[in-house]
Amino acid sequence: MPAASTRVALGVSYNGQRYRGWQSQPGGNTVQDHLEAALGRFVALGAPLPTLCAGRTDAGVHGLMQVVHFDAPVERTPFSWVRGTNTFLPPDIAVQWAQAVPAAFHARACATARRYAYVLLQSPVRPSVEAGRVGWVFHPLDGDAMRAGAAHLLGEHDFTSFRASACQAKTPIKTLHRIAISQRRSGGEGSESCYWRFEFEGNAFLHHMVRNIMGCLIAIGQGARPADWMAQVLAARSRDAAAPTFAPDGLYFLGPVYGPEWNLPTRTAAYDWLP
């Protein structure tokens, strides 16, 4: 009888700028396509090695700790899975860690929550060095107004107003546990520029949900809408009620949250540079 396969979990980081999102597509050039091809080459499978992820990301969206699992056809040490797979990956995708997990582990089904961050540059001048890695606004934002608007979204709600038309989720009812909004000045006193960081944690997210919420938060932050407009958008249960979808550039999938029983890493080195 052939030896039983070992289930392996990987933590993967990537810069999503030049990819068509996470999920494999017929035209290729997705993060999943590159990862599965690299795994297949590393184990000399002669074909890509299929994986399942914790949460899909759209074109242009980045991942600091995407988690995937797969059933390994060969035995390798965790160190070998990391270094060997990275040998065959492009420089903007990297396996951060690898760990053998029980056969009952499922990267998506075992996640209790997911976390995202959106990094936004507020500046009179568009981004250059950080182009594609941050969103951008040139009008000043009111942090207190945005926090008041975000408070309407906490808890369990029908998020249809923030759902893309192509969303495949079975239900628009999701639970947002936390939205945190912080500001960091990028220059000295009196500087017109700063970075905003928006963090979202929920049990699950709809297609474009964070980017659609961002569009509404920015409308509130710029004074185009009052904070309680967010409650009206939520209650409308109509995509037409919300602001346009905001750019993917500054959106980062921070990763899933798992119970302690799986003993998986909770962060990677990729977190450390993010404003």
Whole-number pLDDT of residue 232:
98
Judgement on whether residues 61 and 135 belong to the same structural domain of the protein: no
The reply to whether 23 falls in a domain is yes
Q: Which domain holds residue 20?
A: 6-110
Judgement on whether residues 56 and 138 belong to the same structural domain of the protein: no
Phi, psi at 110, each rounded to 5° = -85, -10
The reply to whether 237 falls in a domain is yes
The reply to whether 258 falls in a domain is no
Average pLDDT over residues 22-40: 94
State the pLDDT confidence band at 27, using cuts at 50, 70 and 90. confident
Which of 81, 110, 139 is at the close of a domain? 110
Judgement on whether residues 177 and 222 belong to the same structural domain of the protein: yes
Question: Which among 33, 58, 71, 158 is annotated as catalytic?
Answer: 58
CATH number for the domain harbouring residue 180? 3.30.70.660
- Amino acid present at 166: A
Average pLDDT over residues 254-271: 94
* Distance of alpha carbon 194 from alpha carbon 124, whole angstroms: 10
User: CB of 144 within 8 A of CB of 91?
Assistant: no
Does residue 70 carry a pLDDT above 90?
yes
Whole-number pLDDT of residue 4:
65
The answer to whether 92 is a known catalytic residue is no
The reply to whether 242 falls in a domain is yes
pLDDT single digits (tens) 37-46:
999 999 998 9
Strand pairing class (173-185; 155-158)? antiparallel
pLDDT single digits (tens) 209-224:
999 999 999 999 999 9
pLDDT single digits (tens) 175-208:
999 999 999 876 655 567 899 999 999 999 999 9
Supply the pTM of this predicted model: 0.94
Q: Provide the domain count of the chain.
A: 2
* 74 CB neighbour count, 10 Å cutoff: 13
* Distance of alpha carbon 58 from alpha carbon 16, whole angstroms: 8
The reply to whether 272 falls in a domain is no
Judgement on whether residues 207 and 96 belong to the same structural domain of the protein: no
